[in-house]
Amino acid sequence: MKLLLKRIFLGENYTIGKLYIDGVYQCDTLEDKVIDIDKSGEFEGNEKKVYGESAIPYGTYDVVITLSPRFRRWLPELKNVPHFEAIRIHSGNTVEDTHGCILVGQNKIKGQVVNSRITEIELMKLLKGQKDITIEIV
């Protein structure tokens, strides 16, 4: 199963994207500010990670469904993300909820996503039991 996250708006403090599953639009996303400006998949030069305020680098990552100790539920976890640990796709509404993770929902309010919990539940229904999941971030 292939997830594709297209970042469509790189704001000063947040990033809005669209998430596709096997080519079909699924939902909108909210992330922290993109600092991988050259889209190289690495932080270099002036691209400095700030804990809890930086989006993960562009690239392709394996995704596994694991039990989150923080959220106490099964969630998608992105593996081997440079400079990051425990990156998940989960519900939340504002950039303060991201901490480097990818929030899912509907971008109906500037800089936010709404209906996030429902969107997470629907996403998990699609991902449950799937093997060989990847996400490409472009």
pTM of the model: 0.94
Long-range contacts of 5-10 (CB under 8 A, 24+ apart): 5/29, 5/102, 5/135, 5/136, 5/137, 5/138, 6/138, 7/31, 7/34, 7/55, 7/137, 7/138, 10/34
Rounded to whole angstroms, the Cα distance separating 3 from 32 reads 19
Q: Where in the sequence is the domain holding 26, given as residue range(s)?
A: 2-137
Mean pLDDT for the chain?
A: 94
Q: What φ, ψ does residue 130 adopt, rounded to 5°? A: -80, 145
Q: Read off the pLDDT of residues 79-121 as tens digits, 9 standing for 90 and up.
A: 999 989 999 999 999 999 999 999 999 999 999 999 999 999 9
Rounded to whole angstroms, the Cα distance separating 127 from 65 reads 8
Q: Which amino acid is at 91?
A: S
Q: Read off the pLDDT of residues 23-68 as tens digits, 9 standing for 90 and up.
A: 999 999 999 999 988 888 888 887 778 788 899 999 999 999 999 9
CB within 8 Å of 48: residues ≥ 6 apart = 35
Predicted confidence at residue 65, as pLDDT, reads 96
State how many domains the chain has: 1
